[in-house]
Amino acid sequence: MWRAFDRHLTAVADAVRCEADMVARQEPVSRLVLLAGHAHDVWTEAAELDWQPPADPGGWTEREWTGLRLLACLLLAADEPRGPRLPAEAEFARTRPVETGEQVNNRREYFR
């Protein structure tokens, strides 16, 4: 599951970076505003599709695209100045457990 979540973190960071670089604005906007905009777009589409998060923890899988994307937005926003505080239950997402490894970007990354 960590690999899927990391892919969402990377995709959200890339989307925000591309928007910052490619969209001309009269006034600069913070990364936090861009993250909020991305999360809003994901949430709006999810609402149109009547998406609901899994009711129990066992329902969370790598295929839970919307939930993982929204969680990635939250985690990245929480790392920004003046960003939201993560609930105590979500603080574990800041660190990755060291159990198994996978080769990523020419270095060893560890995931559960």
Region 105-111: mean pLDDT is 42
Q: Residue 87: pLDDT above 90?
A: no
**Residue 20 structural domain:** 2-53+61-111
CA dist 3 → 55, 63, 97 (Å): 22, 12, 12
Q: Residue 23 has which token pair?
A: 């969209």
pLDDT at 26: 87
Under 8 Å between Cβ of 20 and 34: yes
Count up the domains in the chain and report the number. 1
Of 106 and 87, more confident: 87
Query: What are 28-61's pLDDT values in tens digits?
Result: 899 999 999 999 999 999 999 999 999 888 888 9
Q: Residue 75 has which token pair?
A: 């985690």
